[in-house]
Structure 1
Amino acid sequence: MKKACNFGDLPPEFSREGSSKVEIIPVPYEATVTYRGGTGKGPGAIIEASRYLELYDEELDEQPYKIGIYTASEMKDLPQEPEAAIDKIYHRIKHSLSSDKFLIILGGEHSITVGAVRAFAERYPALSVLQLDAHADLRNSYEGSPYNHACVMRRVGECCSFVALGVRSLSKEEADYIQDKSLKVVSAWDLMRGKDWKKIILDYLSDEVYLTVDLDVLDPSIMPAVGTPEPGGLGWYEILGVLRYLAENKKVVGMDVVELSPLGENIAPDFLTARLIYKMIGYAGKSYGWLERR
């Protein structure tokens, strides 16, 4: 059986670069993972799983693929040194931003977000970031590198503001940093206790938002294929609620989905990730007016 060559295994009329509204950019970078590896295989697994998606979205009563989804060639030969890899990713994303497409970057480990956000922040000076993640990722340096995946939001915070949702694992250093800087980090405990995350999104994110989804924000019962599967995460309909609310109330200018470590024959996490991405394409398509509003 042939492997899918593009997201959704779409025919040419819906996957051409020139006419598509969405661009998928696979970035199979893996260099600083600290527990279970395999994130370098994530983009390929997501694209392969996407060929089995039903392309009609019953929630939206739409077929989002009709806006066009172009899948770029994966970034190959990335340097193992994180800072050099991030710089190369920055230049690649900066190039794609000139096309005015909705960009979706597939990781790979979470450190790729730094390069992407730097490119987006140049294009959108008032950019803010919504981080969905089990971990704060706010260490200043980890294992000798300030560009380790455990430092990604510390680096992101150097170029724009951000809000984090779903955090349930962090160091004392990170907890102190959050308090000292008065950062908007909504923990999983906060969500369980009914904290109004919608108001936080409205009040603390700018109009133009970049979304970064570390898949470990999800509960391991539905997403075991991550490096550090922390218990107590979001469920399927909870994360969809966040994505839809964000798209309806802010302009989501781009996003990444990172940290999938495929589990071989257990393809459920791969399929969930592909479905999550397709759902966000639908939500974004609605908000941009590319799909008919109902």
Structure 2
Amino acid sequence: MQQYRYTPSFGGLPSRNPEDSKVLIISCPLETTTTYKKGTREGPQAILLASYNLELYDEELDDIPAEVGIYTHPDLSLSLGNLKKALEEIENFTFNIIDYKHFPVFLGGEHTITKAILRAYTKKYDSFSILHLDAHSDLRGEYEGTENSHACALREASEKIKIVQVGIRSMSEEEKDYVKERENIKIYFDYKLQEKFDAFVVEDILKNLEEEVYITLDFDVFNPSEMPAVGTPEPGGLSWYQVLYLLREVFKNKKVIGADFVEFSPIPGLVYPDYMAARLIYKTIGYYKKYSLRA
């Protein structure tokens, strides 16, 4: 067992008792199978440090999302040399915290952490769906000799749970054939979204989601001109306001039961992607506070 380094608090907020907080931030600095640009292990801490510079008032919501109570959990003590064991540790941690009724926000790390998180959710929830925002389908059966690759992050869950994928613009022929065999996977390809992304498209996405939704967001869903700090940047992609629009409507219309933000790979000397990532997470917390906690 190896303890990762000191964990900064999100937003530089004073430490609070977890029982007095509605939102729980969990860093999972796991990186074992990334195949292009390395550095996702540094992602959670870079996001947390950047969050110190956030303005806590949100002009869109006319509110201070931080008042919901945000507790930043220390980095998980993961068995970094043993991927299978590390995933079991993430799964066990997730399984235990779900009952505490916090809104959990996981920071990756590579996308493989989502596989472990969803294992816990499938044990706790009878029915929910997954909103998967990503440039890649991540539905391979295995990649480079392991089924625990980041390229396989959603495969296991897709065998049990309905998945709606948004922003996909890179997939293998194997994944294409697999999706054809499944009735529970709906893909909104990026090339189609570039032709039309409006209220009707978002409404269609919502119709394909169950009442309870888990969100997994790979930062490469964004256009790399806005978010270059990812492991595998792909041409095209969604914009800041398109992603916010979709997230806002999901929180308005569904019960979001958790979220993860993965594959952020900081670029030394370039700070705006770090800040953008932190701001996105804070916006998500704001939507949770406004829509999920409404009377």
Q: Deviation at 1:119? A: 1.2
Alignment of structure 1 residues 116-265 onto 2, 5 Å: 116-182=117-183, 183-194=185-196, 196-265=200-269
1:113 equivalent in structure 2: 114
> 1:129 is paired with a residue of what secondary structure?
strand
Higher mean displacement: 182-191 or 65-74: 182-191
1:274 equivalent in structure 2: 278
For residues 59 and 160 of structure 1, what CA distance do their matches in structure 2 show?
A: 33
**Gaps in structure 1 of 5+ consecutive residues:** none
For residues 201 and 253 of structure 1, what CA distance do their matches in structure 2 show?
A: 17
> 2:167 is paired with a residue of what secondary structure?
strand
Q: Deviation at 1:179? A: 1.9
Residue 197 to residue 83, structure 1, CA distance change in 2 (3 Å): farther
Q: Deviation at 1:172? A: 1.1
Q: Deviation at 1:85? A: 1.9
- 1:168-209 C-alpha deviation (Å, 9 max, x unpaired): 011111112122224201110121222643233322211010
- 1:131-186 C-alpha deviation (Å, 9 max, x unpaired): 00000111100011111000111112133111000000111111121222242011
Q: Deviation at 1:247? A: 0.4
For residues 159 and 193 of structure 2, what CA distance do their matches in structure 1 show?
A: 26
Q: Deviation at 1:43? A: 0.5
Residue 76 to residue 4, structure 1, CA distance change in 2 (3 Å): closer
Higher mean displacement: 109-118 or 3-12: 3-12
2:29 equivalent in structure 1: 28
State the number of aligned residues: 287
- 1:249-285 C-alpha deviation (Å, 9 max, x unpaired): 1100100000000101101111000000000000011
Corresponding position: 1:88 with 2:92: no
For residues 4 and 118 of structure 1, what CA distance do their matches in structure 2 show?
A: 25
Q: Calculate the TM-score normalised by the size of structure 2.
A: 0.93
* Conserved? CA contact 2:226–2:239, under 8 Å: yes
Higher mean displacement: 83-92 or 73-82: 73-82
Q: Deviation at 1:35? A: 0.4
* Conserved? CA contact 2:138–2:153, under 8 Å: yes
**Gaps in structure 2 of 5+ consecutive residues:** 1-5
For residues 7 and 156 of structure 2, what CA distance do their matches in structure 1 show?
A: 34
For residues 78 and 262 of structure 1, what CA distance do their matches in structure 2 show?
A: 23
For residues 83 and 256 of structure 2, what CA distance do their matches in structure 1 show?
A: 27
* Conserved? CA contact 1:134–1:169, under 8 Å: yes
> 1:44 is paired with a residue of what secondary structure?
helix
Corresponding position: 1:41 with 2:42: yes
